[in-house]
């Protein structure tokens, strides 16, 4: 069997999978655009830039999303692979405005892993699902030989319903929109890294891993004109803003000093040479909201535990489509770019 | 963090995951019943014995299913991991009578695997999806360190619509039902094993991997009273019949001589000490049909390439609920049991 390359552009000259191909950055996008989509051919739906796809079924819009979780270690401050697998997929559904209904759970278990560890993860998934108000309705279990996995990998998929009249997506960002971030950034990535590398940062940093669907429902419930929602996972705030700027062909400018970064995250990132805006979050989102509605949406978010520290950080304009920049404390501007690859591999 | 055992029965005294826990047999069932379901708690939907779960959304019944694929080797006669991942999930949806609409595709790739191999698999998935008439609409890619996977693992999930008036499930088998098998059994398992172990059986055996949704749609289209559909994956024909007998509390009796087993499969199984009724298939189903409709359903199946060799192999009665037995060529009966674990690990 021979394979004919059908991709119009080279995969940045790699001929093998590297860790960076799984980082959610430009290398992952290369893989999707130049390998998966040409391979899938006519069976591939138009690749949207949103966290969930939407299918119409008998007048209903069903949102559908999936993610595999390979985080190392399996347990970290503020969460574990099970909690992540449930909330990650719940959040992907919520980011297109859908009400999550049900998840599937597929496990690839490594031979030899303790049943007590699997049970802890299952319990955590049950608690996370109850917290998010979704059911775990179907699943699968496979086992691979000792050494051929890292304890366990979990893949969840989820379905939800998009309420009538709701249309939220990266392409819909509009000039004038206010950019709101729901809380402090950088916690998930630094929390995982702290336990993985055995680092201590003085204060323990906890992952922000949380279900955002309830808060999103209250935001939508205000009737505000919400154009984009995006959770700040792999690639962090920077990746989310760059994707939205590209997809909607708009310029996004944020005030660097207004971006909430917890001091412990700031210290850890300084120590590690990371920029908090590139670090993954698992319970934090950005919302792009019509300027007339921004105050109302912020007030609603402040009433919810996952949005208590929500703050407007910037705005959308038309000058340089695709450009994202930050106004610094000194009044200068720095360009924000999408990382080529994830700085922290196996973060989710 | 301590974990309190909440399971009412011991997990057959294992305290670690064994390869058998992923075999789809009694050990897998133990894991689901005594670990996952208690762990998931209130968030777990009632565990059905069917291949897909069904959720009602605004008057529509949406079928939802997932499977992870960890087959070794990735390519085998008649298929590959990509084709398997698409058709396996398509078939799970078809087995509850649903029309498959869309699949998600989640990849866990091993660092170092060749992009050409990933591209071959993606192309195969595209072809398989086109063949089945489904779209690949959302996905995810993760990469794990070299050595921590076996090339790649793929998890697909799928959604479909159950047409109004259709109710198909293991619990619905009824006394008098005719048991129909859609074709020769045992090909997938022996095909994979032949390449994995470097065995040669004279004739090359090809996997039966195929999408069954189109044939199922024509069967349903006859208006026949179809009570149960089940594809004969892990655990083969034996596991499917035992699960249905238990779930519906009925007795199932088959004629051993009527079960179609290709001579090459028979020879390979004899050599390997396997029973073809326990060997996995990936494009073969059993249907339980009202006796008045059996001839009509068989005729329809014969008109379809995936059912050309369909044949009635047995019937349902009430005498000994849960019992499955085979009438042998000598006129005696042998009891058919579900294997404790899969005889052939990593077959799908």
Q: What is the pLDDT along chain B (348 residues), one digit of tens a residue?
A: 334 444 444 456 689 999 989 888 888 889 999 999 999 999 998 666 688 999 999 889 999 999 999 999 999 999 999 999 999 999 999 999 999 999 999 999 999 999 999 999 999 999 999 999 999 999 999 999 999 999 999 999 999 999 999 999 999 999 999 999 999 999 999 999 888 877 776 678 999 999 999 999 999 999 999 999 999 999 999 999 999 999 999 999 999 999 999 999 999 998 888 899 999 999 999 999 999 999 999 999 999 999 999 999 999 999 999 999 999 999 999 999 987 766 678 989
Are B294 and B222 within 8 A, CB to CB? no
List the single best residue of A1, A2, A14, A17 to mutate versus B (max B Cβ within 10 A).
A17
How large is the angle between the packed helices A213-221 and A294-302, nearest 10 degrees? 140
Do B68 and A106 make contact, defined as CB atoms within 8 angstroms?
yes
Are B181 and B313 within 8 A, CB to CB? yes
Do B3 and A116 make contact, defined as CB atoms within 8 angstroms?
yes
Q: What is the pTM of this model?
A: 0.95
What separation in angstroms does the CA of A114 have from each of A109, A118, B35, B335?
Answer: 10, 7, 12, 35
* Nearest CA among B323, B233, B207, B339 for reference residue B286: B233
Minimal-distance CA residue of chain A relative to B131: A43
Per DSSP, which regions of B204-250 are E strands? 226-231
Residues of B in contact with A110 (CB under 8 A): 17
Q: How many residues does chain A have?
A: 348
Question: Rg of the Cα trace of chain A?
Answer: 20
Residue A187: which H helix or E strand, with range? helix A187-196
Write out the two tokens for A276. 């908090």
**Burial class (CB within 10 angstroms; exposed 0-12, middle 13-18, buried 19+) of A14:** middle
- Angstrom distance (rounded) from CA A133 to CA A178: 29
List the single best residue of B4, B8, B17 to mutate versus A (max A Cβ within 10 A).
B17
**DSSP tally for chain B: helices H, then strands E:** 9, 14
pLDDT at B292: 98
Write out the two tokens for B137. 């609409």
Residues of B in contact with A106 (CB under 8 A): 66-68, 155, 157
- Angstrom distance (rounded) from CA B239 to CA B235: 5
Are A90 and A103 within 8 A, CB to CB? yes
- The helix/strand/coil state of A225 is coil
Domains and CATH numbers, chain A: 1-45 (no CATH), 46-162 (3.30.1330.10), 170-335 (3.90.650.10)
* Nearest CA among B204, B264, B3, B233 for reference residue B95: B233
Please state whether the peptide bond connecting residue A73 to the residue before it is cis, i.e. omega within 30 degrees of 0.
yes
pLDDT at B47: 60
B150–A contact, CB cutoff 8 A? yes
Do B119 and A149 make contact, defined as CB atoms within 8 angstroms?
no
What separation in angstroms does the CA of A232 have from each of A50, A278, B34?
Answer: 12, 9, 36
Residue B240: which H helix or E strand, with range? helix B236-248
pLDDT at B202: 67
Please state whether the peptide bond connecting residue B73 to the residue before it is cis, i.e. omega within 30 degrees of 0.
yes
> What is the DSSP code string of A82-97?
HHHHHHHHHHHHHTTT
Residue B318 CB coordination number (10 Å): 11
> What is the DSSP code string of B7-75?
-SS-STT--B--GGGGSSSHHHHHHIIIIIHHHHGGGB----SSSSEEEEETTEEEEEEEEEE--SSSE
Interior angle at CA A206, CA A205 and CA A209, nearest 5: 145
Do A15 and B116 make contact, defined as CB atoms within 8 angstroms?
yes
pLDDT at A341: 65
pLDDT at B50: 80
B22–A contact, CB cutoff 8 A? yes
B111–A contact, CB cutoff 8 A? yes
Do B119 and A31 make contact, defined as CB atoms within 8 angstroms?
no
- Angstrom distance (rounded) from CA A128 to CA A121: 10
Do A16 and B104 make contact, defined as CB atoms within 8 angstroms?
no
Q: For residue A55, give how far its alpha carbon lies from the nearest alpha carbon of chain B (Å).
A: 8
Whether ipTM exceeds 0.85: yes
**Burial class (CB within 10 angstroms; exposed 0-12, middle 13-18, buried 19+) of B298:** buried
Do A20 and B121 make contact, defined as CB atoms within 8 angstroms?
no
In order along chain A (348 residues), what is the average pLDDT of each group of 10 residues?
A: 42 82 87 94 80 90 97 96 98 97 97 97 98 96 97 98 96 98 97 83 87 98 98 94 96 98 93 91 98 98 98 97 95 88 78
């Amino acid at each position: 069997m021979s394979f004919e390359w059908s991709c119009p552009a080279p995969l940045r000259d790699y001929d093998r999978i590297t860790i960076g191909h799984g980082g959610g950055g430009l290398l992952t996008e290369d893989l999707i655009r130049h390998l998966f989509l040409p391979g899938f051919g006519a069976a591939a739906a138009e690749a949207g830039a949103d966290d969930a796809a939407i299918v119409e079924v008998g007048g209903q819009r069903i949102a559908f999303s999936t993610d595999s979780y390979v985080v190392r270690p399996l347990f970290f401050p503020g969460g574990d692979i099970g909690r992540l697998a449930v909330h990650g997929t719940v959040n992907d559904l919520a980011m297109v405005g859908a009400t999550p209904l049900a998840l599937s759970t597929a496990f690839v278990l490594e031979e030899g892993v303790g049943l007590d560890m699997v049970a802890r993860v299952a319990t955590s998934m049950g608690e996370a699902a109850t917290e998010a108000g979704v059911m775990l309705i179907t699943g699968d279990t496979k086992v691979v030989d000792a050494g051929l996995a890292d304890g366990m990998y979990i893949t969840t998929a989820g379905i939800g319903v998009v309420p009538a009249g709701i249309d939220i997506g990266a392409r819909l960002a509009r000039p004038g929109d206010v950019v709101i971030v729901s809380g402090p950034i950088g916690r998930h990535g630094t929390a995982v890294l702290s336990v993985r590398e055995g680092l201590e940062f003085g204060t323990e940093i906890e992952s922000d891993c949380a279900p955002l669907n309830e808060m999103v429902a209250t935001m939508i419930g205000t009737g505000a004109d919400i154009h984009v929602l995006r959770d700040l996972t792999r690639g962090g705030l920077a990746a989310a803003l760059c994707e939205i700027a590209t997809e909607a062909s708009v310029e996004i400018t944020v005030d660097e000093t207004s971006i909430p970064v917890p001091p412990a995250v700031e210290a850890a990132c300084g120590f590690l040479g990371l920029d908090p805006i590139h670090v993954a979050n698992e319970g934090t989102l950005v919302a792009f909201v019509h300027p007339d509605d921004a105050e109302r949406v912020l007030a609603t978010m402040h009433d919810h535990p996952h949005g208590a520290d929500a703050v407007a950080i910037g705005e959308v304009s038309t000058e340089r489509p695709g450009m994202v920049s930050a106004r610094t404390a000194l009044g200068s501007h720095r360009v924000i770019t999408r990382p080529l690859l994830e700085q922290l591999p196996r973060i989710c």
